[in-house]
Structure 1
Amino acid sequence: MKSKEFVIDKWINARPDYHLDLSSDKIKIIHVFQMLCPGCVYQGIPQTVELYQKFNSNDVEVVGLHSVFENHHVMTPEALDVFIKEWRLPFPVAIDKRLEGEWMPETMKAYHFQGTPSLLVIDHKGDVRLNHFGHLDQEQLEAFIQRLINEKSKGP
């Protein structure tokens, strides 16, 4: 499946002109989370920080996507900004756009995410290679990402 552009309200923890270019030749690792999700906070976010520290480079881009589908009234951009600072997240975080009256945000809908935490991995050709709900084994995930990096370095 080809990747689809994210529909976001704004980026936090990023340069003002930041944009995730899904058509770039980088491998994109996107952690989909909600700040009030225990699985996200205790498993997904630490795993993503570790992936960022190990892989974020000229070949790999690691970002977060705050995709709120419940408790909308408390998970505001201001609260997310505080959360990012408190947890010292090193990666940019997009806020998934939600249309008034809709409970599911737009990017979550487009990618058919089943909930949070979810992990989306897009390869250097723009193909979705992983769309996984829940936690993944760190060692297997790192091996998978390394295989994608090796594929990229081999060329077409």
Structure 2
Amino acid sequence: MSGNQAVLAPELAVSEWFNTSQPLTLAGLRGRPVFLHTFQLLCPGCIAQAIPQVQRIERVFAGSDLQIIGVHTVFEHHAAMSPVTLRAFLHEYRLRSPVGVDLSEEGSDIPVTMRRFGLRGTPSSVLIGRDGAILHHAFGVEEDLALGARIAMALSAPATELRSGSAEAEGCGAGRCEAPAMTGAA
């Protein structure tokens, strides 16, 4: 992101969820870093590179509080990529993390979440910080080492207590947060 302007991630628009007992929202996941990856069943780069990378991320970061979310973002071959086909795909590729079907709107070939995030195609990924801000946005597959480092940095960021008040009232502003004055320092 340019400057120090944090851009909050827009909310997901999902018509159906897999691998989770209840729908997920980015607002509900505040306090945890989120790795959001988008894919299509018939995308060669997704099958050959992105899905295996997501499987590695699932294994490597299994003990952390990273939330991995897949979004099946269909912008072509709609009839071939139904939820029934997706369910079989998730089973065959053994993806364990939650996967949502990007919401389609009549009159648009580009699904809602894809438009909201400004994604250019699949595979794409977005790393979201504990505060809900977009930390990194990528089109295509990044090198494992670079992506792992980005995720590790997001995980190492302190989990801040989230309140329903204004951050300005808590000593935060101008892109930074000031610690309260020390009392009784040794």
TM-score normalised by length of structure 2: 0.78
Tell me what 1:51 maps to. 57
Tell me what 2:24 maps to. 19
Distance 1:4 1:49 in 2: 25
Match of 1:39 among 37, 40, 45: 45
User: How far did residue 58 of structure 1 move?
Assistant: 5.1
- Contact 1:25-1:59 within 8 A present in 2 as well: no
Q: State whether structure 2 residue 70 is matched by structure 1 residue 60.
A: no
Q: Could you give the per-residue CA deviations for residues 56-101 of structure 1, whole angstroms, max 9, x where no partner exists?
A: 4452101110000000111101110111111111111000000123
Distance 1:125 1:141 in 2: 19
Tell me what 1:130 maps to. 136
Over the matched positions of the two proteins, sequence identity in percent amounts to: 32
Match of 1:101 among 95, 103, 107: 107
User: How far did residue 149 of structure 1 move?
Assistant: 1.4
- Contact 1:68-1:104 within 8 A present in 2 as well: yes
User: How far did residue 117 of structure 1 move?
Assistant: 0.3
Structure 1 or 2, whichever has the larger Rg, is 2
- Contact 2:13-2:103 within 8 A present in 1 as well: yes
**1:21 is aligned with what amino acid?**
L
Q: Which has the higher contact order (CA 8 A, sep 6+)?
A: 1
Distance 2:23 2:143 in 1: 30
Match of 1:120 among 126, 139, 162: 126
- Contact 1:56-1:62 within 8 A present in 2 as well: no
Distance 1:20 1:58 in 2: 19
Distance 1:44 1:106 in 2: 21
Unaligned 5+ segments in structure 2 are: 1-6, 162-176, 178-186
DSSP 3-state at the match of 1:110: helix
Distance 1:140 1:43 in 2: 15
DSSP 3-state at the match of 1:26: coil
Tell me what 2:96 maps to. 90
- Contact 2:13-2:102 within 8 A present in 1 as well: yes
State the superposition RMSD in angstroms.
1.7
Tell me what 2:173 maps to. none
Unaligned 5+ segments in structure 1 are: none
Distance 1:153 1:107 in 2: 26
- Contact 2:37-2:124 within 8 A present in 1 as well: yes
Distance 1:100 1:83 in 2: 25
